[in-house]
Structure 1
Amino acid sequence: MAAAGDGPWLDDAAGRLVRPFTVSDGRTRPTVALDLMSQLMVTGATPLGYLGPEHTQALDLCRAPVPVAEVAAHLKLPVAVTKVLLADLVDCGALTTKPPAFHHNPTDRALLEAVLDGLRRQL
C-alpha cells in the first residue's frame, strides 16, 4: 500500500482509495457544456475558495491548450468527473474553453481518415 504522502491516494493492488465521485462532491453534471475535444487553457485568474488536489492538477495540465479527454487521462478520473472539475474552474474564471476546431462538422472525412490512419499505425 502507498504511504499517506504518496500520490492521490493510490494503492498498487486496489487502485484509487477515494471513489471518483467524491472528488466532485457527488455531482455528475458540469455547469458548462464540454465535450471530449473541447480545448481548455488557464486564464491566469486565481480561483477563490477551496481547490482540491485534482483541481490544482487540472490547472497545471492546462497551461497550454489541452482537450478534456487528455486532462481526464492524466488525472486518471472518469470523463464525467473531470468535466465537473473543469466546469468548476471555468465558473470561477481560472480556465477558459473553446469548442474543438471541427465543432461545426464533427464527421469531417479528412479528420476521420487521419484518425483511422493513426489507429492503423498503432496496430
Structure 2
Amino acid sequence: MSSGTDQWYDDAAGPVVRPYAMTRGRTVHAAEAKIDLIALVVARNAPGEGEPPDEDLGLSPEHLDIMDLCRYQAVSVAELAADLDLPVGVIRVLVGDLLAADHVHLHKPVPPAELPDERLLREVIAGLRAL
C-alpha cells in the first residue's frame, strides 16, 4: 500500500467501511431481547401501516436497508446478514436498535423444550383415526 488512504479503498468493492463504524463501536444492541440467528424480523410499517420512517434522523442507511428487506415479509437474522453482506454481529446490533426504536417486530423461534413430543402427536393422530 502506497498511502494511508489506499487501505480504505478496495478496487472491487469500492470504499471500505469497517463493521464497527456501522454500529458506532458497539458490540451489543440497545434492545434487551436475545436475537437468535433464526429469529424473524418484520417491519412495523408493513404495507398499509403508514409511511416508512425514512425521515427518522437516527436511522443509518444500513437500518433503512433492513427495514426495506423486512417490509413485505419476515426475514431471519441470518438471511439479513447474507442479503446485506454484513457480519451477523453487526446485524444483531442494528436489529436491536430498530427493536428499541419500535420499528420492527421480532418473532423468536419456539425452544425445542416447548415443542410437543413426537410420541404425543402420534397418539393424537391414532386417536383421531379411531374416531
Per the TM alignment, residue 49 of structure 1 is displaced from its structure 2 partner at its CA by: 3.2
| Match of residue 5 from structure 1 | none
Rg (Cα) greater in structure: 2
| Match of residue 25 from structure 1 | 24
CA distance change for structure 1 residues 10 and 54 in 2, over 3 Å: closer, same or farther?
Answer: farther
User: Residue type matched to 1:29 in 2?
Assistant: V
| Match of residue 68 from structure 2 | 60
Q: Is residue 46 of structure 2 the alignment partner of residue 38 of structure 1?
A: no
| Match of residue 112 from structure 2 | 105
Tell me the SS of whatever aligns to 1:34. coil
Q: Residues of 2 paired with 1:86 and 1:10: CA distance?
A: 27
TM-score by length of 1: 0.69
User: Residue type matched to 1:76 in 2?
Assistant: D
TM-score by length of 2: 0.65
Q: Residues of 2 paired with 1:38 and 1:10: CA distance?
A: 34
Identity of aligned residues (%): 39
Per the TM alignment, residue 74 of structure 1 is displaced from its structure 2 partner at its CA by: 1.1
Per the TM alignment, residue 21 of structure 1 is displaced from its structure 2 partner at its CA by: 1.1
| Match of residue 99 from structure 2 | 90
Per the TM alignment, residue 11 of structure 1 is displaced from its structure 2 partner at its CA by: 3.4
User: Which blocks of at least 5 consecutive residues in structure 2 are unaligned?
Assistant: 1-7, 46-51, 119-131
Q: How many residues align?
A: 98
* Highest RCO, 1 vs 2 (Cα 8 Å, sep ≥ 6): 2
User: Which blocks of at least 5 consecutive residues in structure 1 are unaligned?
Assistant: 1-8, 111-123
